[in-house]
Amino acid sequence: MADVPQNIDELKIIVYPHPGLREIAQPVTDPADPQIARLVERMRQLLGVADGVGIAAPQLGVALRIFLANPEREPGKELTFINPEIIETEGWRDTEEGCLSLPGITLKLRRRERIRMRYQDLTGRSFEIDAKGYVATILQHEGDHLDGKLIIDRASMMGRLAVRDKIKHLESEFEPEKVAVK
C-alpha cells in the first residue's frame, strides 16, 4: 500500500500536468487505519472549499484507491469509496464534465448510463451501489483518477483540440521543482 503522508493537513489539490495525477493508485489494505480517516477528512475539506462533486486521493498526490462523491454538494453528505471497482455496466450517455485538477476545462464525454460498484467504507465493510445518470458519471470520473486517467484522455480529438490552449496554459504554469521528490 502507498503510504499516507504525515503532512495530511497541508495537502492541496494538484493540477495538471502534475505527475501524481498519472500514478495508478494502490489498494488500501486497512480502511480502518486512523491515517486513512484523517486523509478522508482532508479530502472532505478540500472538496467543500472547491465546491466540487467528487475528489480522489490521487488529486492530492496520494496514490491510494479512495474517492469521495457528493452529488448534492451538501457538507456532510459525502460518500466515501475505498477500493472501488465497477462490477456491472449498462447503456451509454453523453456527459459534460469538468475536473478540479483541470481548472477552467470542460469536455463532452461518453460514459456508462448505469453502473454497479463494489467498495469499502472506513470500517472495512463491503458495500455495493447501483448508480445511474449523473451519479454514475461522478463515480466513473473519480474512479478514472485511481487509474491515472483524466477527462482529457477520454475526450474526442475535436474535444482535445477545443481545449488545447487551456491545456498548454496549465502546462506552462506547472513548476516541476515544486513537486516533492519521493
Residues involved in catalysis: 142
Cα–Cα distance measured from residue 107 to residue 128, given in angstroms and rounded to the nearest whole number: 29
Cα atoms in the 13 Å half-sphere on the side-chain side of 40: 23
Four-residue CA torsion sign, 83, 47, 71, 152: negative
The C-alpha cell that represents 82 in the structure block = 475505498
